[in-house]
């Protein structure tokens, strides 16, 4: 299905969408897997409504892919933090951070390329799909990481009208 998504991308249905419910829904979806792995998921809200111009289901898929990657990076405990980023210069967004092993600079240069993976059994399609969806929304996705100190994925999107 990942190959199909990359090969035949669906046009996003853009509307003003609050990000908090999408992040909360994704966190609830992975809660059982997180508990089983000894991972605690924290959700930091912006304190104000954070609305993006996006296709809610596609951005939910982005969040879910990033969360699942963070869980897979630390199968024996740790923390994942979801953070909503308030409006800045007409942009809003969110971050997914983990305290796993981190990503080497060499790997960071390739992680959004299709079929690139360092995980045994991985397809290398998840982050490629994340990047494709975010770009289709006039957004950006970036990673910052220091090996041994976890990774943070930041997604920025155009701000939407408050709902």
**pLDDT higher than threshold 80 for residue 49:** no
Q: Are 82 and 46 in contact (CB under 8 A)?
A: no
Would you state the pLDDT for residue 154? 97
The single-letter DSSP state of residue 149 is S
How far apart CA 87 and CA 22 sit, in angstroms, is 17
What is the reported pLDDT for 150? 94
Residue 83, helix vs strand vs coil: strand
> Which residue from 55, 79, 65, 76 is spatially nearest to 26, judged by alpha carbons?
65
* Token pair of 75 as six digits: 């199968």
Token pair 């990359």 is found at 6
Q: What's the pLDDT tens digit per position in 3-41? A: 555 555 678 889 999 999 999 999 999 999 999 999 999
pLDDT tens track for 89-109: 889 999 999 999 998 898 888
Q: Are 62 and 26 in contact (CB under 8 A)?
A: no
CA distance 159 to 162: 9
pLDDT value of position 46:
62
pLDDT score, position 45: 74
pLDDT bin (cut points 50, 70, 90) of residue 121 is low
Distance CA 61, CA 97 (A): 17
pLDDT of res. 18: 94
Residues 114-129 have a mean pLDDT of 75
């Amino acid at each position: 299905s990942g190959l199909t998504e990359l090969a035949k991308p669906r046009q996003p249905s853009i509307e003003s969408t609050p990000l908090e419910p999408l992040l909360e829904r994704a966190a609830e979806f992975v809660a059982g897997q997180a508990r089983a792995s000894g991972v605690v998921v924290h959700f930091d809200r912006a304190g104000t409504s954070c609305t993006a111009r996006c296709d809610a289901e596609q951005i939910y898929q982005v969040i879910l892919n990033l969360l699942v990657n963070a869980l897979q990076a630390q199968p024996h405990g740790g923390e994942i933090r979801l953070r909503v980023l308030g409006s800045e210069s007409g942009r809003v967004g969110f971050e997914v951070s983990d305290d796993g092993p981190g990503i080497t600079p060499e790997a960071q240069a390739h992680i959004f390329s299709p079929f690139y993976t360092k995980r045994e059994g991985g397809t290398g399609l998840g982050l490629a799909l994340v990047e494709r969806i975010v770009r289709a929304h006039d957004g950006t996705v970036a990673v910052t990481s220091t090996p041994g100190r976890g990774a943070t994925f930041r997604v920025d999107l155009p701000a939407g009208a408050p709902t």
